[in-house]
Amino acid sequence: MTIRVLLPAHLRHLARVKGEVELTIDGPITQRSVLDTLEAAYPMLRGTVRDHSTKQRRPFVRFFACEQDLSHEAPDTPLPEAVVTGAEPFLIVGAMAGG
Amino acid sequence: MASVRVLVGTRKGAFILMADGKRDQWEVTGPHFAGWEMYHLKGSSVDPNRIYASQSSGWFGQLIQRSDDGGNSWEPVGNEFVYDGVPGTHQWYDGTQHPWEFNRVWHLEPSLTDPDVVYAGVEDAALFRSSDGGHSWQELSGLRKHGSGPLWQPGAGGMCLHTIVLDPSNAGRIVVAISAAGAFRSDDGGTTWQPINRGLRSEGIPDADAEVGHCVHNIAISPARPGVLFMQKHWDVMRSDDGGDNWHEISGNLPSDFGFPIAVHSHEPDTVYVVPIKSDSEHFPPDGRLRVYRSRSGGHEWEALTNGLPQENCYVNILRDAMAVDTLDSCGIYFGTTGGQVYASADGGDNWRAIVRDLPPVLSVEVQTLP
């Protein structure tokens, strides 16, 4: 499946991409599989969205899709069907905090 | 003609300032890494085009960037800093024990002999080393594990290893400083460590002359006489003539002996610079007058340097890594402020001017003297 991912501006700049990133993933489409594929394609993003070793989401990073906050879902929970089909992007967002 | 490159880390990006040896016309580029906290940038003395930079944010964590062309282009390298073994605990602000947690890289110190070797001082306090140009990092855990680690506690800015001094005359000697633990030295390249705080007195800790627990702010040496160390402590300006084994106070006639950075003239090992700050709660110059103080006698006797610096209504701070010197014949001194100015003197401190102003708050200033 081809999944659409939208990175926050700072991480788009770091990864040197414009607009959305498209990832081809075999198997279940979950936060974990999306992030594993994203980090494999863009190694410079390792450690910026989730911890290197624990794989925990960084506190000020949020995951949105289909107008829902999926940040607190378990990493292996399937993502919404609209994300799986590519109709909607998976949004990685820097939380509104600090400055 | 020689030239000078000034590497400025700020709260919202990095800037690079270039001038020829006259140092009167400056070209400013940046912001590099706009929006990110740039705690420190430093170039290799072996290969000046090799520059390492610490890039971090509260959202996306720590990155290390490397340039191999003098800062024109950058590549992210390794950002995985994993403590060796079980990290253990240190003192927390309330006196309880708190697990060691990696937060950020405060200081990057390239090797004096190998451009691929670089040291990183991190928060929570530890020293890391890379031997592959920053791609991978290994903790020199003998420092954190030498025994006093559980007694270390964070200063107001966090428990950070912020100062790394490499001895140009002794490849095995490394001196580091940690807030608020003190100074430590290794004589075997970072494998084993000992505290070097004898002679320090800190009224803010229960045992004023304890072996560890002192809030050392910065340490500087002269390459011409590396056995002599100068220290700006939370309060007190100190000097050691035996590589840190013993310290004595040299605050002398300073208007305040609180401050953050300390620097040594590149050719005159007894010429030392500090920027007095009013107090630990009032982080600005005394009387609203920005004055660098210079001692030409290795301490005790200090003169105010004011020409070109604001002498009224100035309430900026100068952070610990925000002062540096060049190595031109007429030694240049540089410092950055939390108000976003970088001041420079091309004549050893007699005359100053802002070579850039209105940057974000300046976190660090380093200088490269280029052939």
Q: Tell me the pLDDT of chain B (371 aa) as tens digits.
A: 799 999 999 999 999 999 999 999 999 999 999 999 999 999 999 999 999 999 999 999 999 999 999 999 999 999 999 999 988 999 998 889 999 999 999 999 999 999 999 999 999 999 999 999 999 999 999 999 999 999 999 988 899 999 999 999 999 999 999 999 999 999 999 999 999 999 999 988 889 999 999 999 999 999 999 999 999 999 999 999 999 999 999 999 999 999 999 999 999 999 999 999 999 999 999 999 999 999 999 999 999 999 999 999 999 999 999 999 999 999 999 999 999 999 999 999 999 999 999 999 999 999 999 99
Assigned token pair, B81:
């800093």
Give the CB-side neighbour count of residue B76, counting CA atoms within 13 A: 20
Tell me which H or E stretch contains B108.
strand B104-110
- Residue A79 DSSP symbol: P
Model pLDDT, residue B206? 87
pLDDT score for B316: 98
Torsion over CA: B60, B64, B67, B68 (sign): negative
Residues of B in contact with A98 (CB under 8 A): 58-59
> What is the pLDDT at residue A98?
57
More confident residue, B364 or A99: B364
The total number of structural domains in chain A stands at 1
Which candidate from B36, B59, B80 shows the least CB-CB separation from A60? B59
Domain for residue A11, yes or no?
Answer: yes
Q: Token pair of B303, please?
A: 């003169």
Tell me: pLDDT of A46 over 70. Answer: yes
Cα–Cα distance for residue pair A56/A94, rounded to 1 Å:
15
Q: Identify the residue among A7, A39, A44 best suited for mutation to test binding to B, counting B beta carbons within 10 A and taking the highest.
A: A44
- Please give the span between the terminal C-alpha atoms of chain B, in angstroms, as a whole number: 7
Residue A10: inside a domain: yes
Residue A99 lies in a domain: no
Q: Indicate the residue of A44, A53, A58 with minimum beta-carbon distance to B76.
A: A44
Query: What average pLDDT does the structure give for chain A?
Result: 95
Could you tell me the residue range of the domain that residue A61 belongs to? 2-94
CB contact under 8 A, B59 and A53: no
Contact between B57 and A14 using a beta-carbon 8 Å cutoff: no
Please indicate if any CB of chain B lies within 8 Å of the CB of A8: yes
Q: Provide the CATH number for the domain around residue A78.
A: 3.10.20.30
Tell me the mean pLDDT in the region A25-50: 97
Contacts for A34 with CB less than 8 Å, ≥ 6 apart = A3, A5, A23, A25, A79, A90
> Is A48 contained in some domain?
yes
The reported pLDDT for the residue numbered A99 is: 53
Q: Supply the pLDDT for residue B157.
A: 85
The position carrying tokens 């007058």 is B289
CB of B236 within 8 A of CB of B206? no
Contacts of B57 in chain A (CB under 8 A): 10
